[in-house]
């Protein structure tokens, strides 16, 4: 229980995409890059719920006194391949809406990811964190995450 609400974690459904995109926009605001979110709702939904999805996700939900569900967090991942390690889960985003931070919801989502990676027999979980996001860094340290300052992020927009 968190306050008077019970939080539960479940796999994301197509109908969750608008709420999930709202969380992604909230994260972009937090990361001082709201203009960087350019994905449309249709493309987002299609990418996760088509015949061949490229991402999967868990959502954290609460129900109010009348049973209305609200998505308050999410963890979106995809499978990447390491030529050295094999298939690994790549955590693209773990997001908890600001009003619900500090209530163990991130841990519930992270635990769901760890169980999923284990059940799928993946070699591990990888992700990135901004070097100034101290709360996230401290959160990940609780899981024994290793931080690598040797590699440089590289990308090309096409």
C-beta pairs of 47-50 under 8 Å, 24+ apart in sequence = 48/12, 48/14, 48/17, 48/76, 49/13, 49/14, 49/17
Instruction: Tally the domains of the chain.
Output: 1
Structural domain for 28, as ranges: 7-128
Digit-coded pLDDT (tens) for 15-53? 999 999 999 999 999 999 999 999 999 999 999 999 999
> Phi then psi for 145, rounded to 5 degrees?
-65, 145
Q: What is the pLDDT of residue 66?
A: 84
Choosing from 77, 81, 140, 143, the catalytic residue is: 140
Does residue 85 fall inside a structural domain?
Answer: yes
Does residue 135 fall inside a structural domain?
Answer: no
Does residue 155 fall inside a structural domain?
Answer: no
CA dihedral for 39, 103, 135, 113, sign (positive or negative):
negative
Does residue 144 fall inside a structural domain?
Answer: no
Is residue 90 part of the annotated active site? The answer reads no
The strands making up 56-63's β-sheet, listed across from edge to edge, are: 7-11, 56-63, 69-82, 86-96, 125-126
The tens-digit pLDDT sequence of the chain (158 residues) is 445 678 999 999 999 999 999 999 999 999 999 999 999 999 999 999 999 999 999 999 999 888 889 999 999 999 999 999 999 999 999 999 999 999 999 999 999 999 999 999 999 999 999 999 999 999 999 999 999 989 888 988 89
Does residue 35 fall inside a structural domain?
Answer: yes
Does residue 157 fall inside a structural domain?
Answer: no
Q: Is the pTM of this model over 0.85?
A: yes
Does residue 146 fall inside a structural domain?
Answer: no
CATH number for the domain spanning 62: value is: 3.40.630.30
Does residue 50 fall inside a structural domain?
Answer: yes
């Amino acid at each position: 229980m968190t306050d008077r609400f019970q939080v539960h974690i479940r796999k994301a459904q197509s109908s969750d995409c608008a709420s999930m995109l709202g969380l992604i926009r909230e994260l972009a605001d937090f990361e001082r890059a709201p203009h960087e979110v350019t994905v449309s709702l249709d493309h987002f939904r299609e990418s996760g719920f088509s015949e061949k999805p490229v991402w999967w996700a868990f959502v954290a939900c609460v129900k109010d006194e009348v049973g209305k569900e609200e998505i308050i967090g999410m963890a979106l991942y995809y499978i990447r391949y390491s030529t050295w390690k094999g298939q690994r889960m790549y955590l693209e985003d773990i997001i908890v809406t600001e009003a619900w931070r500090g209530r163990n919801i991130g841990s519930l989502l992270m635990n769901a990811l760890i169980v999923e990676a284990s059940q799928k027999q993946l070699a591990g979980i990888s992700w990135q964190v901004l070097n100034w996001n101290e709360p996230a860094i401290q959160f990940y340290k609780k899981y024994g995450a290793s931080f690598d300052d040797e590699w440089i992020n590289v990308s090309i927009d096409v």
